[in-house]
Structure 1
């Protein structure tokens, strides 16, 4: 079993050079927020991620892979919105 603080460090370092913050909650869940330090925009926010399944490196790696896919999809969507002049909304 990997200690919670190590799980958080692994996840947070997986998104460099972006800034990743993991916040633990009662009930064994966490919130993961990935921001772009260049502009401060939140590129990914995931609430209620369960900690219980993150007992080994493979499980953590699978979670990080899923989060990276969501992050990429979000970044592509925002870029498309900006190109169309829809985002940011005023």
Structure 2
């Protein structure tokens, strides 16, 4: 079993050179925040991730790949983001 500290470190390092913070609350819910590397402003936040399933390297890699894909899609649709905020 991987510790929460190890898990957060692995996830945070996976997004370098962007700054990433990963927090796991006592209930096992993970929040990952990604920051713009030019402005250091929060770019995306993924909340409510069930950390109890992230016990092996493959599960962690799949999470990171999924979050990276969400980031890629988010960057492709800037006009839709503006519409949602209005």
Answer whether TM exceeds 0.5 for this pair: yes
Between structures 1 and 2, the one with greater helix share: 2
**TM-score, normalised via structure 1 length:** 0.81
Retained in 1: the 8 A contact 2:4–2:24? no
Q: Is the 8 A contact 1:44 1:70 kept in 2?
A: no
Q: How does 1:36-55 map to 2 (within 5 A)?
A: 36-55=36-55
CA distance in 1 between partners of 2:75 and 2:26 (Å): 30
Give the drift of 1:71: 0.8
Ranges in structure 1 where 5+ consecutive residues have no aligned partner: none
Q: Indicate conservation of the 8 Å contact 1:19/1:37, yes or no.
A: yes
Q: How many residues align?
A: 82
Larger-Rg structure: 1
Provide the C-alpha distance between the structure 2 equivalents of 1:40 and 1:76, rounded to a whole number of angstroms.
20
Alignment RMSD: 1.8
TM alignment of 1:63-78, pairs within 5 A? 63-78=63-78
TM-score of the superposed pair, with normalisation by structure 2: 0.84
Q: Which residue is 1:30 aligned to?
A: 30
Moved over 2 A (4+): 40-43
